[in-house]
Structure formats: structure tokens, C-alpha cells
Amino acid sequence: MSKYDQDALNELENGVAPGGEGNLPFDVAIWRALNGQSALKSLSATPVNAVYFGGWATGKTETDEYAQSSGKAPLPFGVHEMGELDKVYDAYVTRELFVAPIVSRVSWVKKTGAMPVRSPEYFEGSSRHFQCVGFMGIRSTAETTEIEPWGLVMLTVKGMQVTHVLDGINKWNSSTAPVRRKIAASEGVSNIPAWVFYMKMGTFGQTPNFLKVGKGNNTSIITPISTYIPQQITDELLDKLYVGEGVTAVMVDAKKSAADWAAGWDKASRSAPAPASDEEPSFNETDEIPF
């Protein structure tokens, strides 16, 4: 008997297809894309090296409360003081996360006073905002290679970083496709989506990639987040990255429950955006979300 539930796999096949505001009806740990800072090179060999190389950050207090309320294991990440002046807080930071994506939404947004203007289409002066609900796994110690299920998370990414994150997601989908088809045939199921295998998303290597983005006077430095694609993708590798039947069931429930949230950015919000300019910002045509 196959360990893959065909009905669950069918539900998750298009799970990362973008939807649109609404609040999630369940708790998650919120991880924000973190751009590294060259001025923090002194921390490059410490447990908080993500502040130099780039990666992910989540508020420690909120995430600890979420973990404790649901009996989850403590996170094995370094803690760094973030923010400035009266908005200082402790955050878990890490260069990489193991995440199986479930459902997402994307929009174009521009701050105009206290309330943002948001639209499903590009308009002048706006930048992209991407959010993805997924299930996170952790390696509880540096010595272990086993990925333990941890819980539901939401990744939130803004600006030009969105292009890099979506590119990594699409590469994971295409790179694993041949082996997934092989596994599906051997398991007697018609399809196994890439999203039931943990992706390692973050920054990699010993040299940071400080990339200048933007034009003219409106530029910034980002440290692009990618998805790690092994040189060889095998049945054995994907078996180790498989989330398991129990987590798959949780993912299916989360996808169904998040339908209103996913559709929340499908229409313009707050106020009507300005008409789109003739020249939209450059981004890849492959930026479509495949799940």
C-alpha cells in the first residue's frame, strides 16, 4: 500500500496558486525575509550570521507563545535584537528554512499615509508583496540530518526579493519533476506535487551576495533568497524530504481553511490605485506561482 494519499496529493497539486485580504483562521509563526548587512560582518561566524548573509527572521516572543501553546519543540536558531529606538525586539534568525508550501497570495502595494494601496496588478510606484503559508520542519541539532515536523508558518517577502523567492520555488518544482514522476509510478499514484517535500529556502555559501536593486535614487541592497537545488536529486533524497502522511493531512486542512485569506488580495483595496505606467518594473515571466 502506498504511503502517498492520492486525494491529498490532488488537493495540494495546485496549492500554491496565488489567491488574494482576510485573516488566517489558524495560528502560524510569521517569518520575514531578512536582508543581510555588510556592516555586520563581525557576526558572520556566529549563530546569528543571517544578519550578515541574509535569510529569515521571526519575532521570538510571538513564536515562542505559538510553540508553547501547541506543544512544539523550541526553535534551534540564534536570537538577535532587531529594530531601532522604541521598536526593539528579539528575533530568531536563520539563513535557511525547511518549508513545504501550501497556499499563497501576491499583490502590488504602495504606502500612502497610514493605509496602503493594494492591487492585484502593477501600478506606478508600487512593489510586490508575497505571502505563503507552509509547513516548516527543523533539524533539532546541528548533528542530526533528520527533519522533524514543526508547524505551520507564513513566509512574507517584499520588493525585488519576491522575484528571487518565486524563481527558487519554480526551480524546485521543475528540478524534482523527473524523480517525482518515477516515484509516483512506483507508488501507484498519478501525481506527487513538489510541495509535499521540504524545500530548503535561504542563503547559501560562504560569500554573501549583496545585490543592488532599483533605479536612479531609489535603490537598495538585498541578499537574494533562493531554494537549494542538490546536484543529484534521487528517490532516496526525496524520501528524506517527504513531509509524511500526517503532515500532508494538516496541509490539506490548512489549504481549505485559508481559502478566504488566499483570495483577500484579488481585488484592489483601501483606495483605487493610480493607473499603471507604460514602463513596469522588470521581473521574470516565470514568476508565476506553480502551486
Express each pLDDT in 175-206 by its tens digit. Answer: 999 999 999 999 999 999 999 999 999 999 99
Does residue 263 sit within a domain? no
Look at residues 157, 61, 145, 63 and name the one whose alpha carbon lies nearest to residue 109: 157
The count of structural domains within the chain is 1
- More confidently predicted of 1 and 284: 1
> What is the extent of the structural domain holding 80?
6-257
- pLDDT of res. 22: 57
When pLDDT is averaged across residues 87-106 and rounded to a whole number, the result is 96
Under the banding of pLDDT at 50, 70 and 90, the label for residue 288 is low
Q: Give yes or no for a contact between 220 and 108, defined as CB atoms under 8 angstroms apart.
A: no
pLDDT of residue 271: 42
Rounded to the nearest integer, the mean pLDDT of the chain is: 87
What is the spatial distance between Cα 274 and Cα 228, in angstroms, rounded to a whole number? 38
Q: How confident is the model at residue 286 (pLDDT cuts 50, 70, 90)?
A: very low
- Look up residue 164 and give its amino acid: H
Contact 152, 134 (CB under 8 A): yes
Q: Is residue 277 part of a domain?
A: no
Q: What three-state secondary structure class fits 269?
A: strand
Residue 210 belongs to a domain: yes
- Identify the residue whose cell numbers are 550570521: 49
How confident is the model at residue 14, as a pLDDT? 58
Question: Could you tell me if 18 and 104 are in contact, meaning their C-beta atoms sit under 8 angstroms apart?
Answer: yes
Q: Would residue 282 count as lying in a domain?
A: no
Identify whether 89 is part of a domain: yes
CA distance 250 to 20: 21
Cell 501576491, located at residue: 106
pTM of structure: 0.86
Calpha distance 158→149 (Å, rounded)? 27
Does any domain span residue 41?
Answer: yes
- DSSP symbol at 41: G
Bridge partners (DSSP) of residue 98 are: 137, 200
Kindly state the average pLDDT of the residues 225-253. 96
